[in-house]
Amino acid sequence: MIDWIAAFFLIAGSLFMLVAAIGVVKLSDVYMRMHAITKAASLGAILMLVAVSLLYVQWIVWIEALMVVVFVILTAPIASHMIAKAAHKTNMPKGPNYVMDELEGVDTDIPDKA
């Protein structure tokens, strides 16, 4: 029974990661590609770690899987925010189908305290 649940979590996580990779290839913009990665790939990693902690009932495995989950949840939004900010500051080209940009012309100049 636990094999079926772990197999479900494994397949779901790998499919989320595949969706992230498809988004990297298909989307048209730096910001849209970052939007695809930073949510789907994090969720895929978390689901696969749930699978490995279901299969191995040891406290060291649980603690390490929990550490990876906490690091991914804490650091993925910060890292993608930093890269998006750097890309926007350096005037990276936008794709053909973006809706709005509230910082257009405001944030493009680089301040001293960057």
Partner 1 sequence: MELQTSPVLTFAIYFSFFNLTIGLFMGLYRLLTGPTLPDRIVVMDLVASLSIGLIVVYIIATGQTVFLNVAVAIALLVFMGNIAFAKYLIRRIKK
Which residue, chain included where needed, has tokens 């939007």?
35
22 binds partner 1 (CB under 8 A): yes
Query: Of 25, 57, 100, 106, which one interacts with partner 1 (CB under 8 A)?
Result: 25
What distance lies between CA 31 and its chain's CA centroid? Answer: 12
- What residues numbered 44-83 form the site for partner 1, per CB under 8 A? 44-45, 48-49, 51-52, 55-56, 58, 60-61, 64-65, 67-68, 71-72, 75-76, 78-80, 82-83
24 binds partner 1 (CB under 8 A): yes
Query: Of 4, 57, 96, 99, which one interacts with partner 1 (CB under 8 A)?
Result: 4
Do residues 23 and 54 touch, judged by C-beta distance below 8 A?
Answer: no
- Rounded to an integer, what distance in angstroms lies between the CA atom of residue 36 and that of residue 84? 13
Q: How far is the CB of 93 from partner 1 (least distance, A)?
A: 7
Structure tokens at 47: 């689901």
DSSP-derived letter for residue 57 is -
